[in-house]
Amino acid sequence: MAKKGGGKKKGGGKKAKKPQLLTSEADLAPFGFRVKDIVSTPMGLKGTVIGVKILPGEERLALMVEFPGGKVSPLELKLHQPALGYRKAPESEHIWRDVCILREKMKLEAEERAAALERQRLRMEALALEAALAEKANKKKAKKPKKVEGEEVRPETAPV
């Protein structure tokens, strides 16, 4: 049976650079949107505008939108036609999104703070335990009388 693949990959090894997203107000003005605007599609989906991208080979601009779940997709709006049903969501929706993002950040910070306090408490307990063990060891060393050769050491208290 002949080997497949041969081990080495063909090609230069470098990937082609992705076209950068244009995010300035001037680039987005023809579409009527700004970065972080919520867009409602004719199908009822809602996404967030992340910029404008020049489509390779076609030299055409496409409005790039990120949908829930991280899917990024171009909305190919014709500049000379109306928005074809794509419209900006109301300001209340933008505010609510920002509130939800802020709540999520606060929740993560509270969890991090609680974890840090728990680590600090455990460290303090470990230090206290080490100090107690060291103190016990020092007391045992101090209680043992030194033996002199030939002498018998008697306990300090008599057995009951």
Provide the pLDDT for residue 59: 73
The rounded distance, in Å, linking the Cα atoms of 151 and 160 is 24
In the predicted model, is pLDDT for residue 154 greater than 80?
A: no
pLDDT for the residue numbered 144? 61
Asked if pLDDT for residue 113 goes beyond 60, the answer is yes
Q: Select from 41, 31, 28, 29 the least CA-distant residue to 89.
A: 41
- Mean pLDDT within 10-29: 72
Find the mean pLDDT for residues 68-96: 78
121 alpha-carbon distance from chain centroid: 26
**Which DSSP string corresponds to 28-57?**
HGGGT--TT-EEE-TTS-EEEEEEEEEETT
Amino acid of residue 134: A
CA–CA distance from 67 to each of 89, 104, 105 (Å)?
Answer: 14, 18, 20
Q: Is the pLDDT of residue 112 over 70?
A: yes
Mean pLDDT of the chain: 80
Q: What is the mean pLDDT of residues 57-69?
A: 84
CA–chain centroid gap for 73, Å, is: 23
**In which band, very low, low, confident or very high, does the pLDDT at 155 lie, cut at 50, 70 and 90?**
low
How large a percentage of the chain has pLDDT more than 90?
Answer: 31
Separation of CA 83 from chain center: 35
Report whether pLDDT(9) > 70: no
Please give the average per-residue pLDDT across 126-132, as a whole number: 93
Flag the least confident range among 9-13, 43-47, 104-108: 9-13
Write the burial class of residue 128 (CB in 10 Å: 0-12 exposed, 13-18 middle, 19+ buried).
Answer: exposed
